[in-house]
Chains A and B, each alone.
Chain A
Amino acid sequence: MTLLERDPKSPLTWSGNLPVTSRYTFGLAGEKFFRAIKDEGKIIGSYCKKCDHTYVPASQFCEKCLAEVSDWVDVGTIGELHTFTVLYEGYDGARLVQPEIVAFISLGDGGLIHRLGEINLDEIYFGMPLEAVFLPEGQRQGSILDIRYFKPAG
């Protein structure tokens, strides 16, 4: 089956790697969204009147009708659990000592991916209200990590 007949235990290889560092621009809507998190502890979306659709995170345009969207709305910091998973592997593929609960939390007509905290697995249900827990104001930098996790609301 193989083209080369030689000892498969001693193949010659070369290893290489590349440092990859890039800058990612938030853009107009992204900047509004992350400034609201950082400065006000708020989650904002953008509303397309024509499609009656609230984008969370806020978007500068409507992906349904492609109109520019300029109505910004505060959607609150409590959303609903749409789906969740318990992740047993880390970013590099290594087994996690402590598995993490990851969820998609519905907010407006969109939502956010985040980890869940202050929660037991057996109390989770689809549709349960979840509240964003923010870092203290002085520690927030304008990133998704300004939200530490979502926890059961109320």
Chain B
Amino acid sequence: MNERVAIVGIGWSGYRSKSADLSYKELIYESAVKAYADAGVDPRKDIQSFVTVAEDFHEGTSIFDEYTPDQLGAALKPVHTITGDGLHGLATAYMLVKTGQFDIVAVEGHSKASNILTLPEVTAYAQDPILNRPLRFNTHFVAGLEMNRFLFETGTTQEQCAAVVQKNRRNALNNPKAPYGADLTLEDILSGPVLSWPLGKRDSAEHSDGAIVMVLASESTARHLNDKPIWILGMGWCNDSPSLESREWGELPYIQKAAQIAYRQAGFRNPQGIIDFAEIDDTYSYKELQSLEALGFCLPGEAGILTEDGATEVDGELPVNASGGSLGMGHMIDATGLARALEVVLQLRGEAGLYQLEDVNVGLAQSWRGIPTTSGAVAVLAN
């Protein structure tokens, strides 16, 4: 199918550090009805297929995908759940429309992180069971190793990483969806408790609860559904060898490859001068810098300097995580990439409110699946 694909509806619930009043189904329901109203579709009649993103261990329920249809209006419809980040879910929904078999498809991602009472152990269970897990290290060690090598190879400093935290948490003060807005000094960030040196606790995003639903449609359908369709120009994802023993420690070749795939589909090679703003992975402060370099916005070692110079501020040359990112909005586990994509859509529609950027036409969303993985995805969106 040569028709383009657009995001025609968005809905969200949250984000909050805790959501003791609502079940995950209610969080999803709230997001779904908003997204369907936004797109002007009846889920029971109009939406032909549904994609959700979830991990059984994060949900605390085996075969969790069986629990997804009802709150989405997807019972007795084609539904499938994929494991991966929310952007992998968006890519899957995009492909479903691209097959030409479905005109309208919905994608859902959510986080009920506050209900995972043993998250460190759940994450540690993702370590290699024979080579790594017997050592019984908290999984943040993977980020500590990666950050230290990244700083060593590129000359990036802990202060430059702290500048990412400062920027994103300040940006979050303008975003009513963001629970972790704060005006911190670099000293506040650098003097915080250590997590896995050189990684500080304040370099690491807290979690939040919430849900996101998007409705996608083929071009001809999108045109009469919505006067503000946001076009998917390209989507790429890539997985490196997962083993800690054979991966790169200082750079992100899988993000580089995912970006190349997305850029090729969108018809360009170099994002500089084409992408107006980006919402990217900042699970840890250094990841924003490492990702900017992998995405081709600058050379290795330059992202920290550009950040210190203000180039990634809301009024800078390339605003990055104007929403506050995961550091400001909270990490949404499997839904994180969908949260980044949602912010790109809001900016491209001109609906970002206090943190609306001026004159933006092309935006990029990028995600990483988190420790200890080597999976990432990139989306290029335009209005």
Residues of A within 8 A of B (CB): 1-4, 6, 8, 11, 13, 15-16, 20, 22, 24, 26, 30, 55-57, 63, 82-93, 99-100, 102-104, 109-115, 126, 143-145
Contact = CB atoms under 8 A, between A and B. Distances in A.
B138 interface: yes
Given A85-B144, A93-B120, 6 more contacts: A3-B26, A57-B245, A85-B145, A91-B120, A93-B121, A113-B132
B196 A89 contact: yes
B266 to A, nearest CB: 29
B152 interface: yes
Interface string B207-234: 0000000000000000000000000000
Interface of B: 13, 20-22, 26, 29-30, 60, 115, 117-121, 124-125, 129-132, 134-138, 140-141, 144-149, 152, 193-199, 241, 244-246, 249-250
18 contacts: A3-B30, A11-B21, A63-B246, A85-B145, A86-B196, A87-B137, A87-B144, A89-B195, A90-B136, A90-B138, A91-B121, A93-B138, A102-B135, A104-B244, A113-B145, A113-B245, A114-B135, A144-B131
B120 A82 contact: no
B19 to A, nearest CB: 8
Nearest to B19: A2
B21 A2 contact: yes
Contacts of B195: 88-89
A102 B141 contact: yes
Contacts of B30: 3
> Which 7 pairs of residues, A with B, have the shortest CB-CB distance?
A85-B144, A93-B120, A83-B149, A86-B197, A11-B20, A89-B138, A24-B129
Nearest to A112: B245
A104 B145 contact: yes
A110 B244 CA distance: 9
B20 to A, nearest CB: 4
Nearest to A84: B148
A31 B216 CA distance: 49
A2 B145 CA distance: 41
Q: Name the residue in B131, B132, B146, B244 with the highest tally of chain A Cβ atoms < 10 Å from its Cβ.
A: B131
A91 B136 contact: yes
A100 B246 contact: no
Contacts of B124: 91
A88 B148 CA distance: 15
Of the candidates B21, B26, B118, B132, the one having the most CB atoms from chain A within 10 angstroms of its own CB is B21
Contact of A115 (B21, B135, B197, B249): B135
B194 A3 contact: no
Nearest to B62: A18
Nearest to A108: B245
Given A3-B29, A8-B21, A88 B193 contact: yes
B146 A88 contact: no
Given A110-B245, A110-B246, A102 B144 contact: yes
Given A3-B22, A113-B131, A144-B135, A15 B117 contact: yes
Nearest to A53: B246
A142 to B, nearest CB: 10
Nearest to B245: A110
Nearest to B60: A16
A88 B29 contact: no
Nearest to A143: B134
B179 to A, nearest CB: 12
Given A4-B22, A110-B245, A113-B245, A88 B129 contact: no
A113 B120 contact: no
B121 A83 contact: no
Contacts of A4: 21-22, 26
Contacts of A103: 145
A85 B284 CA distance: 15
Contacts of A6: 21
A114 B134 CA distance: 10
B15 to A, nearest CB: 11
Contact of B22 (A2, A30, A143): A2
A86 B144 contact: yes
A87 B134 contact: no
Given A83-B152, A89-B196, A63 B140 contact: no
B130 A30 contact: yes
Contacts of B244: 104, 113
Contact of A83 (B119, B140, B146, B193): B146
B135 A85 contact: no
A87 B245 contact: no
Contacts of A86: 144, 194, 196-197
Contact of A88 (B130, B135, B196, B246): B196
Most chain-B Cβ atoms within 10 A of its Cβ — which of A2, A83, A114? A83
A85 B131 contact: no
Contacts of B131: 57, 112-113, 144
